[in-house]
């Protein structure tokens, strides 16, 4: 195992960015930036194969800043949308910065995705620890919040994404990572949407014509959201469906069944690479990259609409305002821990 760092250029405001890379004994590697805790590369190396980078990314900060889309970024304090940009907690109203019309999205104007994180070696030779402090009142959220993300990449091509946090006051906390995957490796709509998906998700949260959750749960069985059998994404996206039409494709929260085991499996048939996805989170935003801008990524790879697929572990959208959903409330001085595991193997 080896951990190396290298300069990665500067942001528009002149801040120097560093890229840190964990390399396993098979030559597989994971790279993360101290800017936005961005997963810049995930390249598993299966026995007898060369490493294959399976996430969208850029070669400098300017690429991320121009492309938008939260590509590879760690987002918070609260992932997804808070409708109306306001929530109630302990009898008090907290207005937030609205960065998507009248709604608050992925942490607001700056959010964790545009902050500089502090990187230190983890407890093991194959791990890195990224730390961020979010002061009371930032983006409108209460409480001084300390966040730690520990990335561990094993010789078995397992990437652990461990989140630890503590706040000195009750607050909202719903962290996720916004990486776009293409296990087929082409990063075109045809390639990314040829991936198959299995998900242990008996319900989903429908959206209205504005793409906002309506507060209900619906069964996935027999719908375009039924991934109880491994299913290619492209034929589903081609179906006429009111839910898909409202957001231009998949941009929906899938509700996981309780229990252990993988919650989803993404499969690239062209490469035979599978990603088993485990998480403690109750749901996952399935996003088919419907609004990705045209850009040029790593290795001069052209990106565009639907050139990657997101599996974002999370509490349900707007759940802080919907008491029927699990609430993303982090209580004062009570440590929080969550783990997401991406396990890569031959399919």
Condensed to tens digits (0 to 9), the pLDDT of residues 95-126 reads 999 998 999 999 999 999 999 999 998 878 89
Of 203, 161, 12, nearest to 76 (Cα)?
161
Lowest mean pLDDT of 27-31, 167-171, 211-215, name the range: 211-215
Token digits for 169?
Answer: 């006051």
Closest C-alpha to 134, from 150, 142, 146: 146
Q: Which whole number is the average pLDDT over 288-299?
A: 95
Closest of 13, 31, 14 to residue 22, by C-alpha:
31
Helix (H, G, I), strand (E, B) or coil at 246: helix
Among the residue ranges 25-39, 72-86, 114-128, the one predicted with the least confidence is 114-128
**DSSP tally for the chain: helices H, then strands E:** 4, 29
> What pLDDT score was predicted for residue 66?
94
Residues 6+ apart with CB under 8 A from 229: 198
What six digits make up the tokens of 92?
A: 């008090």
Running DSSP on this structure, what letter comes out for residue 231?
E
User: Which tokens belong to 118?
Assistant: 């502090």
pLDDT at 347: 80
What's the pLDDT score for residue 48? 85
Mean of pLDDT over the chain: 96
Confidence (pLDDT) at 126:
93
The predicted structure's pLDDT at residue 1: 67
Name the token pair of 297.
């990524």
As a whole number of angstroms, the distance between CA 45 and CA 271 comes to: 12
pLDDT of residue 47: 87
CA distances, 337 to each of 163, 175, 301 (Å)? 6, 11, 36
d(CA 200, CA 258): 9
Average pLDDT over residues 182-205: 98
Q: Is the confidence at residue 337, as pLDDT, over 80?
A: yes
Q: What percent of the chain has pLDDT over 70?
A: 100
Mean pLDDT of 297-321: 97
pLDDT of residue 268: 98
Beta bridge pairs of residue 180: 310
Distance separating alpha carbons of residues 219 and 91, to the nearest angstrom: 33
Q: Which residue has the tokens 């014509």?
A: 209
Residues present in the chain in total: 347
What is residue 209's predicted lDDT score, i.e. its pLDDT? 80
Catalytic center residues: 178, 312
Average of per-residue pLDDT across 241-258: 96
């Amino acid at each position: 195992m080896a951990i190396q760092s290298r300069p990665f250029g500067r942001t528009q405001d002149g801040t120097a960015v560093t890229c840190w890379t964990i390399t396993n004994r098979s030559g597989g590697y994971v790279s993360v930036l101290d800017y936005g805790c961005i997963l810049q590369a995930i390249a598993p190396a299966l026995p007898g194969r060369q490493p294959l980078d399976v996430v969208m990314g850029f070669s400098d900060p300017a690429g991320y800043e121009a492309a938008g889309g939260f590509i590879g970024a760690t987002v918070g304090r609260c992932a997804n949308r808070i409708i109306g940009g306001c929530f109630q907690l302990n009898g008090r109203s907290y207005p937030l910065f609205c960065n998507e019309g009248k709604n608050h999205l992925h942490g607001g104007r700056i959010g964790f995705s545009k902050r500089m994180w502090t990187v230190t070696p983890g407890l093991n030779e194959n791990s890195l620890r990224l730390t961020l402090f979010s002061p009371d009142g930032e983006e409108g959220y209460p409480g001084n919040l300390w966040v730690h993300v520990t990335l561990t990449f094993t010789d078995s091509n397992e990437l652990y994404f461990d989140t630890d946090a503590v706040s000195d006051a009750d607050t909202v906390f719903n962290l996720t990572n916004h990486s776009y995957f293409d296990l087929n490796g082409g990063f075109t709509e045809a390639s990314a949407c040829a991936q198959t998906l299995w998900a242990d998700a008996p319900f989903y949260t429908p959206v209205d014509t504005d793409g906002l959750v309506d507060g209900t749960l619906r069964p996935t069985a027999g719908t375009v959201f039924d991934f109880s059998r491994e299913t290619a994404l492209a034929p589903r996206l081609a179906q006429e469906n009111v839910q898909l039409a409202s957001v231009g494709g998949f941009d929906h929260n899938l509700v996981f069944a309780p229990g252990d085991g993988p919650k989803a499996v993404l499969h690239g048939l062209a490469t035979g690479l599978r990603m088993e996805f485990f998480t403690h989170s109750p749901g996952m935003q399935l996003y088919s990259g419907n609004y990705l801008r045209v850009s040029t990524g790593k290795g001069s790879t052209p990106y565009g609409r639907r050139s990657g697929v997101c599996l974002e572990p999370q509490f349900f959208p707007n759940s802080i305002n919907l008491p029927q959903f699990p609430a993303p409330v982090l209580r004062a001085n009570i440590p929080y821990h969550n783990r997401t595991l991406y396990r890569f193997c031959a399919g």
